[in-house]
Amino acid sequence: MVLNCNNNQVTDPERAIGVFDSGLGGLSVVRELLALGAGRHIHYLADQCHAPYGVQSMETILAWSKAISEWFIRGKIKVIVLACNSASAAALYSLREQFPAVHFVGMEPAVKPAVAASKTGRVAVLATAATLAGGPYKKVLRDHANGCQVIPRACPKWVDLVENPPESPEEVLTEVKSVVAPLLADGVDQLILGCTHFSFLKNVIQSVCQGNATVIDPAVAVARQAERIADTAGVHRGGRSDCRLFTTGDAARFEGHSQSLLGQSFPVKTARWDG
């Protein structure tokens, strides 16, 4: 299985960072990278024809993540951000072993800061089933739970709320409330967003919490980590930060959604799977 695009030339790979997700969610990390203004080229791939990743097997997600990484590597990109918790869960450790010359930045649920901030000793991780089954999540639990009760909650409908937003905002509110309200009633005071798509639901989640719980969004921390790694890897800074977007789905539709989520427009190209 190979990922291809007729126009995937990286004009200045010495300034480039690769970022990918199954769809729109990883744009939350792109948004933060652009806000940091480090003057780098961001190449973002949304594998929308396979979305959502969270319901797929670990083996399948690993295969897709490897092929996407090879696509970036062919463009001489040295830093790749898995802006997808499911891909990080399935592929991060394996990719680091297979491509030691490339720097991979992954997503992991922010259990450490949540546990440190919790006053009730009860925190919740809102994620996909794949993320909750993956190695990074299990590792942060071992390393940072520290006796705190960490409650996992798979939210299978939430990715679709971002990818295919319903016409009525009330539908979004109702779905979010059905997950969050019982957690609040059980004394949870820290809600960890364990899927990059959920960053775009943060305002709704906070409205349901009404100040009774803190919502922890890792997108900012991951963007900062990616920039630190890029500096270490010798990825140059300079000029204006910009972005090139690719999707394996509908480019016109993705362009409209990405403009809405990023607050600015970038060109979108179609990538395709061969084999």
User: pLDDT digit string (tens) for 36-61?
Assistant: 988 999 999 999 999 999 989 999 99
Q: Taking Cα atoms as reference points, which of 89, 86, 22 lies closest to residue 52?
A: 22
Average pLDDT over residues 211-230: 96
SS3 164: coil
Q: Which residue has the higher pLDDT, 136 or 59?
A: 59
**pLDDT above 80: residue 131:** yes
**Whole-number pLDDT of residue 164:** 92
Q: pLDDT for 100-120, tens place per residue? A: 999 999 998 999 999 999 999
**Whole-number pLDDT of residue 11:** 66
**Whole-number pLDDT of residue 4:** 79
**Whole-number pLDDT of residue 6:** 59
Measuring CA to CA, how many Å separate 21 from each of 119, 220, 247? 33, 16, 10
**Whole-number pLDDT of residue 10:** 67
For 143, counting Cβ atoms within 10 Å of its Cβ (0-12 exposed, 13-18 middle, 19+ buried), the class is exposed
**Whole-number pLDDT of residue 2:** 83
Q: Are 13 and 77 in contact (CB under 8 A)?
A: yes
**Whole-number pLDDT of residue 12:** 77
pTM of the model: 0.93
Catalytic sites, residue numbers? 84, 195
Half-sphere exposure of 182 (CA within 13 A, CB side): 9
Instruction: Name the amino acid, one letter, at 200.
Output: F
* Percent with pLDDT over 90 in the chain: 87
Whether the CA torsion 45, 48, 49, 51 is positive or negative: it is positive
Q: pLDDT for 140-169, tens place per residue? A: 999 999 999 999 999 989 999 999 999 999
